[in-house]
Every structure is written in C-alpha cells, then in structure tokens.
C-alpha cells in the first residue's frame, strides 16, 4: 500500500462535501480521520468507505453534515464527531479494494493482519479514538445483492442491541470474521455495522442520515432491556466460499457452478432442505467450502450434490448472496444464519 500514514484533521477541508466518493482521494491523499467539535463529549465515531465501492456512507455524510456548522450549516453539532474516511484509493476506481490491498474491514485490531501496512494504519485510528474516548461507533456499508437493511453487532449486550434496534428490527450477531471495525471498536464503546442495501438507492442514504443524526442527538444509550418483540435477532454461524479454481456463472451452463440467475433473492429467506441453488458440471464433489465460527469445515452439514445440482442439505438462512463475481472472489458467497431471539434475555 502506498500510503501508510494516517491523515488527521480537525475540520472538514473546504468543498469536501461537494465531492463524490471517487474524487476524495485526490483531495485527502489517503485514509483520513477528521475530528469535529460538538456540544457533548465523547465523540460519536463514524467510519465510511472501508470498502471503496460502498458509497452510501459518504453520500449520507455529505447530506447530513450540511445542516451543521462544520458543513456550512447554522446548527452546532450536538455531540462531537470523529469521521474516518477509509479506502479512498479504491473509491477513486469504484472498487471494494485495489488488487494488492488488504480488505480495510479485515485489518482492524484482533484480526490476522495487524502486521501489515493497512493494519498498522488502522491501529493508529483505534489508538487515536481510545485516547479521546468514544460514545458509540457506527460503520456504514452496502450490500451488492438484494438484502433488507440491517445492523450487525458483536456482543449480546443491552447497549449494543439498543444501538442496532435504532436502525431497524433486523439485527445480526457475529463473531467471525475477525479484524472488522465493529469488533475492534466494541472494546472501546457500543458498536454497530449498518448494511444499507445496494449502492445508489436513495432510501439507503436517507436511512443512514436519519440514523446518524439520531445517534448524534442521543444523550445516553438506554440501559433497559430491548423488548423481544422489537427485534429479529440472527446469529451468523458459518461462511460459504467458492474455491478459486472453479468457474462461476449465473445462468451460464458452461460454468463449473451455474448459480440461479436471481440467487440474491434467497437472502434472509428460510430455505428448506433440498433447495437448489446451482447446476454443476461435476457433481462428484462439493464445489463450496463452508467454515463455522471455530474455522472447522462444515460443508457437508449444509450442502450436498445430487443429480447435477448443488442443494441445501438442511434448512438454513443465507445473507449477502450476490451476483457480483468479484465480491464472491474477494469476500465470500454468503453467510449462513440461525434465529437467535432466545438469547435476548441474556443481554446485560
């Protein structure tokens, strides 16, 4: 990575809010942490563009901050804000990450890539925020496939659940992959990841703006338990990946794995056993690898091959299925979830 230095500012550069995500790198020069003073401390921490092609976070920030004095508006910030603008180089090219880069949402402290250029840069961000104190942390993302808007947490804790439920009733709890922003920041404060649907959808931007503004106005995060009827809680139990040597298609009968052309419509649906998700050129061995939270291979628990098809072996619920082959290669095919509502009573 060319830029291993964290840029740290105490004001928004003039005209920054006028720029689209692809123009930020030219002005900022790389990952940038911007501290804006408000009426309450400690600051709300918001990260955007950890994936350069997930631009809803930046579009929301552009719209949100214009109402406040740091963005040219007439209102003071009700709480201080620290804004981390992540992979500007990838954003300049409209990519999740550049070839040769590590994923900016896999290099946070606690993951496997701390001893890397990206990991050392991100450690500076965490160190800076630890020194200042943090009220809450919000990491804004998009999906590439069809998914509802939802929030993710890494602790079953009352404050975390309230912060997530403020975004919507669909909440996912996960402990892998490690090295993600929300898991690192959960050592400092309540932390959530927002998944705001596909890039370019106005509703995603509006939802993020409303949520960020609500967080900025919170005096404190409620301490009473979240009512079970106010939240649908899921737990990510496994991740499915496609081996690099296998060809992927969507309605392409010549591909090694020919997935359904509308595969992403299966997200957040409880699929019955024997649901077909792909046609196969070779059905003698499973064309996926599935690992559970402990890193164990559990492929045969969830999938099977039969009659030239890839099928679910048991009932399961996927999330983040996408039709974007590049994302499948760089991240995964999908995550597998189970309902977790009974654990709400364990929150403390």
What is the pLDDT averaged over residues 69-90?
97
Residues 318/275, Cβ–Cβ less than 8 Å: no
Sorting pLDDT into bands at 50, 70 and 90, what band is 164? very high
Give the homologous superfamily in CATH for domain 7-226: Zn peptidases (3.40.630.10)
Query: Greater confidence, 230 or 103?
Result: 103
Nearest-Å Rg of the Cα atoms of the chain is 20
What pLDDT shows up at residue 69?
A: 97
Sorting pLDDT into bands at 50, 70 and 90, what band is 348? low
Q: The whole model's pTM is what?
A: 0.91
Write down the residue that tokens 């974007």 correspond to. Answer: 324
Sorting pLDDT into bands at 50, 70 and 90, what band is 192? very high
Q: Is the pLDDT of residue 3 over 60?
A: no
Residue spans of the domains in the chain: they are 7-226, 236-344
Q: Is 21 helix (H, G, I), strand (E, B) or coil?
A: helix
106-134 burial, b at 16+ Cβ within 10 Å, e below that, comes to bbbbebebeebebbbbbbebbebbeeeeb
Residues 107/122, Cβ–Cβ less than 8 Å: yes
Q: Supply the DSSP string of 203-259, one letter for each residue.
A: HHHHHHHHHHHHHHH-SS---SPPPGGG-EEEEEEEEEE--TTS-EEES-TTSSEEE
Write down the residue that tokens 């740290």 correspond to. Answer: 8
Average pLDDT, the chain: 95
What pLDDT shows up at residue 228?
A: 82
Q: Which of 124-138, 191-205, 328-342 has the lowest mean pLDDT?
A: 328-342
172-192 burial, b at 16+ Cβ within 10 Å, e below that, comes to bbbebbbbbbbbbbbebbbbb
Portion of the chain with pLDDT greater than 70, in percent: 97
Q: Is the pLDDT of residue 197 over 90?
A: yes
What pLDDT shows up at residue 340?
A: 87
- List of residues 6+ apart from 199 with CB closer than 8 A: 53, 54, 55, 56, 142
What is the pLDDT averaged over residues 242-246?
96
What pLDDT shows up at residue 1?
A: 46
What is the pLDDT averaged over residues 287-310?
96
- E-strand stretches of the chain: 7-9, 32-36, 43-48, 81-85, 134-141, 150-153, 170-173, 191-195, 232-241, 248-250, 257-259, 276-280, 289-292, 303-306, 309-312, 317-319, 334-339
CA distance 32 to 14: 15
CA distance 22 to 94: 7
What is the pLDDT averaged over residues 81-109?
97
What pLDDT shows up at residue 344?
A: 65
Q: Is the pLDDT of residue 154 over 90?
A: yes
Q: Is the pLDDT of residue 183 over 90?
A: yes
Full strand arrangement of the beta sheet holding 303-306: 248-250, 257-259, 276-280, 309-312, 303-306
Q: Is the pLDDT of residue 264 over 90?
A: yes
Phi and psi for 69 in degrees, rounded to 5? -55, -40
CB neighbour class for 223 (10 Å; exposed up to 12, middle 13-18, buried from 19): exposed
49-59 pLDDT, tens digit each: 999 999 999 99
Q: Is 319 helix (H, G, I), strand (E, B) or coil?
A: strand
What is the pLDDT averaged over residues 228-243?
94
């Amino acid at each position: 990575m060319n830029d291993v230095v964290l840029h740290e500012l105490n004001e928004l550069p003039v005209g920054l809010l006028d720029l689209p995500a692809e123009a930020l790198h030219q002005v900022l020069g790389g990952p940038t942490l911007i501290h804006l003073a408000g009426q309450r401390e400690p600051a709300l921490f918001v990260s955007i563009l950890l994936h350069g092609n997930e631009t809803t976070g930046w579009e929301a920030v552009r719209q949100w901050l214009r109402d406040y004095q740091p963005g040219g508006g007439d209102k003071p910030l009700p709480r201080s804000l620290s804004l981390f603008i992540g992979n500007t180089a990838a954003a300049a090219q409209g990519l999740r990450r550049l070839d040769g880069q590590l994923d900016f949402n896999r290099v946070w402290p606690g993951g496997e890539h701390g001893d890397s250029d990206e990991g050392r840069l991100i450690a500076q961000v965490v160190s800076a925020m630890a020194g200042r104190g943090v009220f809450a942390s919000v990491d804004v993302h998009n999906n590439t496939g069809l998914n509802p808007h939802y929030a993710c947490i890494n602790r079953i804790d009352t404050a975390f659940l309230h912060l997530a439920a403020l975004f919507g009733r669909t909440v996912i709890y996960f402990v892998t992959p490690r090295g993600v922003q929300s898991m690192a920041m959960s050592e400092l404060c309540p932390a959530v990841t927002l998944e705001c649907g596909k890039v370019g959808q106005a509703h995603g931007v509006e939802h993020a703006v409303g949520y960020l503004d609500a967080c900025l106005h919170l005096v404190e995060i409620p301490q009473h338990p979240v009512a079970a009827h106010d939240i649908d809680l899921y737990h990510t139990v496994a991740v499915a990946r496609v081996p690099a040597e296998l060809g992927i298609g969507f309605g392409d009968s010549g591909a090694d794995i020919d997935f359904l052309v509308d595969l992403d419509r299966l997200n957040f649906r409880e699929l019955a056993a024997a649901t077909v998700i792909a046609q196969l050129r070779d059905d003698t061995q499973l064309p996926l690898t599935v690992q559970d939270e402990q890193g164990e291979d559990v492929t045969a628990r969830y999938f099977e091959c039969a009659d030239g098809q890839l099928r679910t072996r048991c009932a399961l619920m996927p999330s983040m299925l996408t039709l974007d082959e590049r994302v499948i290669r760089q991240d995964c095919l999908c995550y597998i979830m189970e309902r977790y509502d009974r654990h709400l009573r364990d929150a403390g």
